[in-house]
Amino acid sequence: MGKQALDIFRQSLPILQVLSDSNRQDILLFLSENEKLTVNEITERSKLSRPAVSHHLKLLKNAGVINVEQIGTQRYYYLSMQEAVELLKKLLAALERDCL
Amino acid sequence: MGKQALDIFRQSLPILQVLSDSNRQDILLFLSENEKLTVNEITERSKLSRPAVSHHLKLLKNAGVINVEQIGTQRYYYLSMQEAVELLKKLLAALERDCL
DNA sequence: ATTAAATGTTTAAACTTTTAAACCAATAAT
DNA sequence: ATTATTGGTTTAAAAGTTTAAACATTTAAT
């Protein structure tokens, strides 16, 4: 592993962090099955309270794996995982190169 | 994302968790550069105390990304990331299929 | 303007993780 | 056998995370 690989590791940190929680994994699952969902729609499907869901959505948004679109009073959340997938691809390539 | 993808997500949890910490990333870096290292050798390179390093090594070992070989009083830690890389590959494939 | 609906924010409590200090166990060398 | 070296374990404190309750904000409809 070189400095280059370490950089990729560090860049991936926020995504790895955000993915390593089953509640957040569930939310991503819901969004992958539904295109766009509001906080309340996600809460219905989840075991968490609305504020907890809202909190996890914030984390997911900060990590760049979801995005929001406001329509009236409702906020529709949807996946935006292009960057995350790119990063994970790079990470995987680095791991295969240096760690096997 | 289907149930199948969720399973992969869940299986990856321990690896994602263990990778989403910069101290542990550092340890993996040291091991990728050095083949085999003792706790003390890792501690020299790290900013952590020896018990802290020992603790993180235990987590890494439980997640299956490293292994130990004892030679006399010394324990040599080394990478064993084949499984982790396989899992991450599957995860990535699921993400590309269902989340883009 | 008031009210209702949807959602975000703040705060406090519970829980988990991380760390270091002190201690213990095993091996090897004298 | 005694001692030194290596490394694991336990414990307690500190820091961080997660959750829910109460409160605040924003938009839409009457």
Nearest to A3 by CA among B33, B80, B93: B33
Q: Which helix (H) or strand (E) holds A23?
A: helix A22-34
Render pLDDT for A15-46 as a digit per residue (tens, 0 to 9): 999 999 999 999 999 999 999 999 999 999 99
pLDDT for A1: 60
Nucleotide nearest to B75 (CA to C1'): D7
pLDDT for B23: 94
Beta bridge partners of A75: A70
**Quick one: pLDDT band at residue A5, thresholds 50, 70, 90?**
confident
CATH of span B3-98: 1.10.10.10
Q: Where are the domains of chain A?
A: 3-98
Percent of chain B with pLDDT over 70: 98
Evaluate if the CB of A58 falls below 7 Å from strand C: yes
pLDDT surpassing 70 at residue B70: yes
Beta bridge partners of A78: A67
Cβ contacts of residue A22 below 8 Å, gap of 6+? B10, B13
pLDDT surpassing 70 at residue B1: no
Where do we find the tokens 């390593």?
Answer: A20
Interface test with A, best of B16, B23, B26, B80 (most A CBs within 10 A): B16
